[in-house]
Amino acid sequence: MTDRESSPVALPQTHDDRWRASRWEIVPAMPLPPPMNMALDEILTERVGAGERPPTVRIWAWSGPCVVLGRFQSVRNEVDEAAAERHGIELVRRISGGGAMFIEPEGAITWSIYAPDAIVQGMSFPESYAFFDAWVVEALRALGIDAWYAPLNDITSANGKIGGAAQARRNGAVLHHTTMAYAMNVPLMTSVLRIGKEKLSDKGIRSADKRVGPLSQQTAMSRQAIVDHLIARFAGAYPSQVGDLTADELAEAERRVAARFGQPAWIHLLP
């Protein structure tokens, strides 16, 4: 959440026809332990790919604070584990690449989109990132927030970076998940995340100039009101219905947490 692109990028075509090609299931937020959220992303991607579940948008909620590492990040390079433990912040690793996220349940807005690969057919990876975030940028602009998409995977604004996305591809399906900052506890975040000088020196911009623009600084709306707005925009534009996780999906997630996502071998995959 520290990068910032300095110039607006033209909104990509929204490819509404692709969004409208199927009926979406919207799964409302259910507070879950962080490793369950990791496991569900893998399972729902697989099941959408297998045609066992319709294309889905899942809104996330968290039972507690955590740091979510990207698939390729090293624990020791990214996290002060002792500080995380002291503050009761859990460490988890997601299946997609990208950067570490510091999550407090009321400070972040996260969702996952699971769709068959056909939705991004013919698009490059960078184009597909822009495609999946385009509707969100429009939804934020509808709130009067001067937001835009910044390659490769950021949603940013005149007041700083708002959020970032990551993708994984599995089993004929694409997972695109996005986290936006609603409110940030910067002192706590910087005590837990190691944010190196290299990371902050992109294009010669000094760290002091780097800004994040959490949504709470850009609108008076509550976190929940923003989530509701996003869902309403999506449901208003694309065919969709509210759904839920099945008991079987939750049971499978429990199994994968026990076998993998809650295990040090995965969390410390890169020490």
Candidate list 70, 163, 213, 214; residue touching other proteins; CB under 8 A:
70
Candidate list 31, 51, 196, 264; residue touching other proteins; CB under 8 A:
196
Ranges within 152-191 binding other proteins (CB under 8 A): 152-153, 166-169
Amino acid at 107: G
- Closer to other proteins by CB, 79 or 134: give it: 79
The DSSP call for residue 202 is: G
Place of tokens 């076998």: 259
Does residue number 198 form part of the binding site for other proteins (CB under 8 A)?
yes
Candidate list 17, 88, 203, 220; residue touching other proteins; CB under 8 A:
203
Question: Which H helix or E strand runs over 136?
Answer: helix 125-142
Binding segment toward other proteins, per CB under 8 A, in 115-123, 150-158, 231-239, 254-262: 150-158
- Closer to other proteins by CB, 129 or 135: give it: 129
Least CB distance to other proteins at residue 168 (A) = 7
Strands 108-116 and 173-181 turn out to be antiparallel
Candidate list 13, 171, 190, 201; residue touching other proteins; CB under 8 A:
201
Binding segment toward other proteins, per CB under 8 A, in 13-21, 53-61, 192-200, 239-247: 192-200
CA atoms within 13 A on the CB side of 61: 10
What burial letters (b/e) apply to 185-221, b meaning 16+ CB within 10 Å?
Answer: eeebbeebbebeeeeeeeeeeeeeebebbbbbbbeeb
Does residue number 72 form part of the binding site for other proteins (CB under 8 A)?
yes
Does residue number 45 form part of the binding site for other proteins (CB under 8 A)?
no
Does residue number 74 form part of the binding site for other proteins (CB under 8 A)?
yes
Between CA 126 and CA 135, with CA 183 as vertex, the angle to 5 degrees is 35
Ranges within 84-143 binding other proteins (CB under 8 A): 95-100, 125-126
Least CB distance to other proteins at residue 239 (A) = 29
Cβ contacts of 114 within 8 Å, gap of 6 or more: 44, 45, 48, 53, 55, 56, 57, 58, 173, 174, 175
User: In this structure, what token pair is assigned to residue 129?
Assistant: 């990132």
Tell me the C-alpha distance between 4 and 162, whole Å.
9
Least CB distance to other proteins at residue 253 (A) = 20
Total number of residues that touch other proteins (CB under 8 A) = 30
- Closer to other proteins by CB, 27 or 95: give it: 95
Does residue number 52 form part of the binding site for other proteins (CB under 8 A)?
no
Least CB distance to other proteins at residue 144 (A) = 29
* Dihedral angle, C-alpha 12, 42, 162, 229, nearest 10 °: 80
Number of Cβ within 10 Å of residue 102's Cβ equals 26
- Closer to other proteins by CB, 37 or 96: give it: 96
Residues at the interface with other proteins (CB under 8 A): 70-74, 77, 95-100, 125-126, 151-153, 166-169, 196-199, 201-203, 270-271
